[in-house]
Amino acid sequence: MSQQQFENFTASSLYCQKCKAAMPVRERLLLVLPDKEIFDYLCTGCGSSVGRREITAGEKLLAQAKAGRRPRRPGAVHQLTP
């Protein structure tokens, strides 16, 4: 197994202190900063916070490049014509 497989790890279940068990979690965007984004993991059973994940701007660009997508330009406005 290569180290590259674990670069963009996202949790699907984490241990919850309130539920006293490993529970499925959902990821919620908590904060967007110029150099990173911070996500909070919430227990689907009780809704309490059970962990955090930070994605730096470099990691985000690398993930988008691997997926074959170009990042959107900031401030780009798209107009729909009727």
Distance of CA 82 to the CA centre of its chain: 35
Helical segments of 1-82, H only? 57-66
Q: How far is CA 70 from CA 3, 16, 56, 65, 73, in A?
A: 24, 37, 17, 7, 9
Q: What's the pLDDT score for residue 48?
A: 96
Give this prediction's pTM: 0.65
Q: What's the pLDDT score for residue 29?
A: 94
Taking the C-alpha atoms of residue 41 and residue 11, their distance in angstroms, rounded to an integer, is: 8
Residue 39 has pLDDT above 60, yes or no: yes
- Residue 13 contacts residue 21 (beta carbons within 8 Å): no
Q: What does the pLDDT average to over 60-77?
A: 65
Q: And the tokens for 80?
A: 């729909």
